[in-house]
Amino acid sequence: MTTSSRVDFPPPTEGTVPLEVTLRRRRSVREFAADPLTAAEIGQLLWAAQGVTTDRGGRTAPSAGALYPLELYAVTSKRAMRYLPGGHGAEITTERDLRHDLMIAALDQEAVGQAPLLVAVVAVPERTAAKYGDRAPRYADLEAGHAAQNLLLQAVALDLVAVPIGGFDDEAVGSILELPGGQAPRYLLAVGHPRT
Ligand SMILES: Cc1cc2nc3c(=O)[nH]c(=O)nc-3n(C[C@H](O)[C@H](O)[C@H](O)COP(=O)(O)O)c2cc1C
């Protein structure tokens, strides 16, 4: 359901594709069918990356000190939104399609402009800096990798295809997504249905 500022995703579900099959099938795919993803698919992908799985706030991906120094931004043809792991919803940040601007920021990579869904994995190292000091940026980057791989495997399990994009201008992506200070984009995960 979409309100003026928030999307609530359907509860995550459990599929039937074995983990080993998702590992074997995962491949970077850079061409997508035009079909949009459903809210259920988008929610499932975000949940795989950072969903809350315990009453105490534990998530699908491990986190140094359980301090969770990541934000996820989902970008579609209709809007951009920030994932809210606690409520399995998202806060809408703009009703504009940011994909073309992000493609330019990502060195004109067509996969970024074509994908019906982009998920920006964003590091917020200051969340862990009080505990881990200089190692905070390293831990945030490691956690971005955990979250990204979870999402890539979930995409396979949903019969979707994806590619992790690391080649982009950090400042430009941050500006397009209107990231607050201290938030640094680490990955753009381009996801869609396979082109037949
Ligand atoms: C850190 C990182 C950055 C990457 N950046 C890009 C990128 O900017 N553009 C792209 O098309 N693929 C990118 N990839 C995907 C790799 O090209 C891909 O993983 C590699 O060719 C191996 O293929 P596979 O993923 O199908 O196993 C990136 C992968 C990683 C791990």
User: CATH no. for residue 15?
Assistant: 3.40.109.10
> 155 falls in which pLDDT band (50, 70, 90)?
very high
- What was the pLDDT predicted at 51? 98
- Whether 139 is in a domain gets the answer yes
Collapsing DSSP to helix, strand or coil, 80 comes out as: strand
Q: Which of 25, 149, 165, 187 to mutate to test the pocket of ligand 1 (most atoms within 8 A of CB)?
A: 165
Q: Return d(Cα 67, Cα 80) in angstroms, integer.
A: 25
pLDDT value at 168 more than 80: yes
User: What tens digit of pLDDT does each residue of 70-87 get?
Assistant: 999 999 999 999 999 999
Residue 149, classified by CB atoms within 10 Å of its CB into exposed (0-12), middle (13-18) or buried (19+), is middle
- Helices 136-157 and 39-50 sit at what angle, rounded to 10 degrees? 140
pLDDT value at 130 more than 60: yes
180 CB neighbour count, 10 Å cutoff: 10
pLDDT value at 1 more than 70: no
Q: Is 164 in the pocket of ligand 1 (CB under 6 A)?
A: yes
- What was the pLDDT predicted at 187? 98
Q: Is 163 in the pocket of ligand 1 (CB under 6 A)?
A: yes
- What was the pLDDT predicted at 136? 97
Nearest to 167 by CA among 71, 103, 96, 76: 103
* Dihedral pair phi/psi, residue 91, rounded to 5°: -95, 125
74: containing domain:
6-192
pLDDT value at 28 more than 80: yes
CA of 3 to the centre of ligand 1 (A): 36
Q: Is 24 in the pocket of ligand 1 (CB under 6 A)?
A: no
**Which residue in the block uniquely carries the two structure tokens 């315990």?**
54
Quote the tokens at residue 34: 């035009």
- Number of domains present in the structure of the chain: 1
- What was the pLDDT predicted at 21? 98
- What was the pLDDT predicted at 104? 98
> 196 falls in which pLDDT band (50, 70, 90)?
confident
- What was the pLDDT predicted at 4? 62
Q: Return d(Cα 4, Cα 112) in angstroms, integer.
A: 26
Per-residue CA distances from 48 to 3, 89, 167 (Å): 24, 13, 23
- Whether 1 is in a domain gets the answer no
User: What tens digit of pLDDT does each residue of 94-123 get?
Assistant: 999 999 999 999 999 999 999 999 999 999
Q: Whose CA is nearest to atom 11 of ligand 1?
A: 165
User: What tens digit of pLDDT does each residue of 40-71 get?
Assistant: 999 999 999 999 999 999 999 999 999 999 99
- Whether 23 is in a domain gets the answer yes
- What was the pLDDT predicted at 81? 98
Q: Whose CA is nearest to atom 12 of ligand 1?
A: 165
